[in-house]
Amino acid sequence: MMKGDSGKNIPAIGSGMDPVPRTWKWHQSNCALARLLSRHQRVLNKATAVALEIRREIDELTPLMTELCRRTCRFCPEPCCITNTVWIDFRDLLFFHLTDEPIPPCQAASDPGDACPFLSHRGCRLPRRIRPWMCIKYICPAQRAVLQKKERPVSAALCADIQKIERNRLRMEVEVIRRIRRKIRTSPSSSSACSG
């Protein structure tokens, strides 16, 4: 089974899943983002509420996605976790930080043809909530075929749920950027710095 399983044990940073310089950069970038969000925490209530909504929506998707994986991944001749290149994007990171989810120990991106660093023989080691969104929402052709055999409202509802999460991810990002920009513009230290 590939994509469908989730394990609980995420290796600690620098435990050998990824070359050290890449992991170090990843760690530094996440520390910088954590510091930025923490500095502006007071204006990020709305963004955090949207992130929590996204988490609830992802949790609601999970049973159906898990079922699809259970029915298809074990027999897959070309597992997507090896053939596709994925990565944790900025919205994923915002989501993890705003909801206090654990941060994956390295970026998911792998070289073309190499397996994703989170792939184990039992499938994905990341809990579904902290997988890249592009992995969570991915429905491969085999899974589409399974969906087509289900009642029409099931797949229509799934598509609608995925689109709703897409919209909320955009809302969350826009809200974070807008609030932080506004706060920087109006803070006394930034105006004195600008006025020299």
**Residues 82 and 118 sit within 8 Å (Cβ to Cβ):** no
CB of 8 to ligand SF4, least distance (A): 14
**Residues 99 and 51 sit within 8 Å (Cβ to Cβ):** yes
Q: Write the binding mask 101 to 140 for ligand SF4: x where contact by CB under 6 A, - elsewhere.
A: -------x-------x-xx----x-x----xx--x----x
Closest CA to 80 of 140, 147, 146: 140
Task: Figure out which of the listed residues 79, 127, 168, 184 binds ligand SF4, where binding follows CB under 6 A.
Answer: 79
In the complex with ligand SF4, which residue's Cβ is closer, 2 or 147? 2
Look at the alpha carbons of 122, 8, 103, 162 in this order and tell me if their dihedral is positive or negative. positive
Q: How far apart are CA 169 and CA 54, in angstroms?
A: 7
Task: Figure out which of the listed residues 13, 80, 146, 184 binds ligand SF4, where binding follows CB under 6 A.
Answer: 80
In the complex with ligand SF4, which residue's Cβ is closer, 11 or 79? 79
Task: Figure out which of the listed residues 86, 106, 147, 165 binds ligand SF4, where binding follows CB under 6 A.
Answer: 86
Q: Is residue 77 packed enough to be buried (19+ CB in 10 Å), middle (13-18) or exposed (0-12)? A: exposed
Q: How far apart are CA 145 and CA 108, in angstroms?
A: 27
CA-CA distances (angstroms) from residue 26 to 4, 75, 130?
25, 34, 15
81 belongs to the binding site for ligand SF4 (CB under 6 A)? yes
Total residues contacting ligand SF4 by CB under 6 A comes to 22
Q: Write the binding mask 2 to 31 for ligand SF4: x where contact by CB under 6 A, - elsewhere.
A: xx----------------------------
**Residues 169 and 54 sit within 8 Å (Cβ to Cβ):** yes
User: Interacting stretch for ligand SF4, rule CB under 6 A, among 42-50, 71-79, 151-159, 177-185?
Assistant: 71-79
98 belongs to the binding site for ligand SF4 (CB under 6 A)? no
Per this entry, what is the length of the chain? Answer: 196
Report the interface residues with ligand SF4, using CB under 6 A: 2-3, 69, 72-73, 76, 79-81, 86, 108, 116, 118-119, 124, 126, 131-132, 135, 140, 142-143
